[in-house]
Amino acid sequence: MSRILEPVIFRNGAQAKNRVALAAMTNGQSNVDGTLGEDELRWLEMRAKGGFGIIATCAVHVSKHGQGWPGELGIFDDAHIPGLKRVADAICEYGSLPMAQIFHGGLRADRSVSGTQPWSASDATEVGNDSGARAATGQDIEGVIADFAEAARRACKAGMAGVEIHGAHGYLLTQFLSRTENRRTDAWGGTLEKRARLMREVTRAVRAAVPEQFIVGVRLSPEDNGNARGLDLDENLQLAHWLVEDGIDFLHLSLWDYTKNTTKRPERHALQEFRAVVPQDVPIFVAGQIWTRDDGEKALALGADVIALGRSAIVNPDWPRHVTDAHWQPQRPPVTAAQLQSWGLNETFINRMRGRKDFVAG
């Protein structure tokens, strides 16, 4: 049997039935007020039915001012709990672990949906960004730490198995960590200790807000990629070590292409680097261009414990069911809008995918 189908055990005893996770994917299928949309539920439920052992929601905003996109599922108010509970129940029904990806956009929050001026570590003009974001006050920072903790409490109350703190891709927590996007000179900027402080305090506050059996993980971008800027591999390795001390149950590396080695040390793969500092009982998730069973097995052989699928899960909603068949070839883009619809994407989501090169045919 492929290792992909073996269970994963977290250090708090929680168990996933296999090593395939649905990566968090923002899809715009929920309501204006952040409550659950029926299409969002259907899209997630279809992947649980398709055999994914772990299902992450889209990035769900922990504060209204952190919302990144229209139609994003929210977790900033108790009014969101019933919808989140429907998601959790539907996923658990198929024996998968539901996890909410908790997030704040920082200077990439969208003012047109959040209704407020975005804020981040530093004023946007200082870091060459045109969002009009202001520098966070001490009160903003304390407030957002509490918001992350409250979001985790809500996820737990809704019956989720865990949360993934979104520390990747250049959103609020990455902006504070960044050498270039954080120009602060107070206790939240400057040395790595100070730039990493927000991510760590959020992690500790989340950990303290939920019972031990509840899974808490962090997603990181190990090096610069797209909007994730000002990052350094060695700083992230130190951060991973600290996050383990702070109580994470898993670390998720967002690589975009798992076949590539690191930029800083081209002879080394990020999984080898992180595996060396993260203890064996803390599973490492990895995402980025995992399409085939062979890809999945290679990623596991490099040191990952769980493979997280993004685009291949969009076009192969039952990917894990095919792992037993060595000859199976996954569907790959371009695919038609009608196919996407049959795989649980509504018109809004399909339109988002039209924005990605060569994904939607015609």
> Any residues with CB less than 8 A from the CB of 191 and at least 6 apart, and which?
none
Binding to ligand FMN by CB under 6 A, coded x per residue (else -) over 106-145, reads ----------------------------------------
317 binds ligand FMN (CB under 6 A): no
User: Which span (1-9, 22-30, 182-190, 277-285) binds ligand FMN, by CB under 6 A?
Assistant: 22-30
The CA distances from residue 232 to 17, 122, 177, in Å, are: 34, 19, 10
Q: Is 167 in a helix, a strand, or coil?
A: strand
Looking at beta carbons only, is 181 or 189 nearer to ligand FMN?
A: 181
Which string of DSSP letters, residue by residue, matches 92-106? HTTTPEEEEEEE--G
The stretch near ligand FMN (CB under 6 A) out of 154-162, 194-202, 228-236, 284-292 is 284-292
- Could you give the 3-state DSSP secondary structure of residue 330? coil
Q: Tokens standing for 52?
A: 């994914």
Which residue's Cβ has the minimum distance to ligand FMN? 310
Query: Would you call 306 helix, strand, or coil by DSSP?
Result: strand
**Which pair of tokens denotes residue 41?**
């539920």
Indicate whether 292 belongs to the interface with ligand FMN (CB under 6 A): no
Handedness of CA 261, 217, 119, 256 (dihedral sign): positive
Active site residue 258: no
Catalytic-labelled residue, pool 171, 250, 343, 359: 171
Is 4 a binding residue for ligand FMN by CB under 6 A? The answer is no
Nearest distance from residue 338's CB to ligand FMN, in Å?
A: 18
Question: Mask of contacts with ligand FMN, 205-244, x by CB under 6 A?
Answer: --------------x-------------------------
What's the rounded Cα separation, in Å, for the pair 169 and 227? 6
Residue that has been written with the tokens 């905003």 in this structure: 61
> What are the start-end ranges of the E strands in the chain?
8-9, 15-16, 20-22, 54-61, 97-103, 119-120, 134-135, 162-167, 215-220, 250-254, 284-287, 306-309
Q: Tell me how far, at minimum, the Cβ of 314 lies from ligand FMN, in Å.
A: 7
Query: From CA 155, how far away is CA 122, in angstroms rounded?
Result: 30
Give Cβ neighbours of residue 79 (< 8 Å, ≥ 6 apart). 33, 35
Question: 308 - beta bridge partners?
Answer: 21, 287
Q: Is 315 in the site for ligand FMN (CB under 6 A)?
A: no
Under rule CB under 6 A, residue 99 binds ligand FMN: no
Q: Is 169 in the site for ligand FMN (CB under 6 A)?
A: yes
> Of 17-25, 173-181, 192-200, 260-268, which segment contacts ligand FMN by CB under 6 A?
17-25
Would strands 8-9 and 15-16 be described as parallel, antiparallel, or unpaired? antiparallel
311 binds ligand FMN (CB under 6 A): yes
Looking at 4, 20, 21, 23, which residue binds ligand FMN (CB under 6 A)? 23
| Among positions 2, 159, 256, 261, the unique one binding ligand FMN when judged by CB under 6 A | 256
Check binding of 25 to ligand FMN (CB under 6 A): yes
Between 166 and 229, name the residue whose CB sits nearer to ligand FMN: 166
Is residue 25 within 8 Å of 343, Cβ to Cβ?
no
Is 304 one of the binding residues for ligand FMN (CB under 6 A)?
A: no
- By 3-state DSSP, what share of the chain in percent is helix, strand and coil, each rounded to 5? 40, 15, 45
288 is a contact residue toward ligand FMN (CB under 6 A): yes
Q: Provide the minimum distance between the beta carbon of 30 and ligand FMN in the complex, in angstroms, as a whole number.
A: 12
User: Is 60 among the residues that bind ligand FMN (CB under 6 A)?
Assistant: no
The residues that are catalytic are 171
The residue ranges that bind ligand FMN (CB under 6 A) are: 23-26, 58-59, 101, 166, 168-169, 219, 254, 256, 287-290, 309-312, 352
